[in-house]
Structure 1
């Protein structure tokens, strides 16, 4: 008798878009420690879009303001692919109260890694 308790499934793949290298490394470490596979991290819109044309993640963690602009084009592509995401941004609450990111969870910065893991798990369930 075989039971599938999740151990036979491959790890969920999480895209990390963050241009601050130490923050990106901290997010990557937290995700891999919790059993996720990390795509990236990538630090630019261009690199994120290129990666998304090769690979599809199960979910994503996005910084909003990158060196080459706002992450919105990446979020638009993720939405079109049905990929859920959370934000890890220092921008205020107004970011998620209206407009494109309305209703999306913003974990803030500094990001609480346990909270991030919980949100990723919630998105995937």
Structure 2
């Protein structure tokens, strides 16, 4: 049993293959996928209402930024991380402390950022 077992996750990713990859990696760690969505409007609705423990947010959703979703999650005090191919430099200063998963990434990198986002102690 993993330290992430039962963690309920929202995935916001507009590339279908990448979303499936993230789902598989998270499920391998014992996480439950609450929803995997590609659009900003749907993501905002789920972020505002669903029982989730964590969200993985692609920064760029077909030309729209996922920052409105991040604001909703902040208000609800739900931890989240960004995934992006552009690096942390593309984030607004208000999100500069958020974990950023650089694309492409490994299962190990996802696991490490997941721990950071959830405030778990680093593994030794």
TM-score range, shorter chain: 0.7 to 0.9
Separation in structure 1 between the aligned mates of residue 116 and residue 51 of structure 2, nearest angstrom: 19
Structure with the higher fraction of residues in strand conformation? 2
Max Rg structure? 1
Alignment correspondent of 2:12: 17
**CA root-mean-square deviation:** 2.3
Q: Which stretches in structure 1 are left out of the alignment for 5+ residues?
A: none
Deviation at 1:70, TM superposition (A): 0.4
Q: Is the 8 Å Cα contact of residues 13 and 58 (structure 1) preserved in structure 2? A: yes
Separation in structure 2 between the aligned mates of residue 23 and residue 75 of structure 1, nearest angstrom: 20
Under a length normalisation based on structure 1, what TM-score does the superposition of the two structures give? 0.83
Under a length normalisation based on structure 2, what TM-score does the superposition of the two structures give? 0.84
CA offset digits 1:79-110 (Å, max 9, x no partner): 000011111101133124x5222111211111
Q: Which stretches in structure 2 are left out of the alignment for 5+ residues?
A: none
Tell which deviates more after alignment, 114-123 or 24-33.
114-123
Deviation at 1:76, TM superposition (A): 0.2
Separation in structure 2 between the aligned mates of residue 55 and residue 35 of structure 1, nearest angstrom: 19
Structure 2 CA distance for partners of 1:6 and 1:111, relative to 1, 3 Å: closer
Deviation at 1:60, TM superposition (A): 1.0
CA offset digits 1:41-70 (Å, max 9, x no partner): 100111111222331311111100002610
Moved over 6 A (4+): none
Separation in structure 2 between the aligned mates of residue 81 and residue 54 of structure 1, nearest angstrom: 10
Structure 2 CA distance for partners of 1:101 and 1:48, relative to 1, 3 Å: same
How many corresponding residue pairs? 119
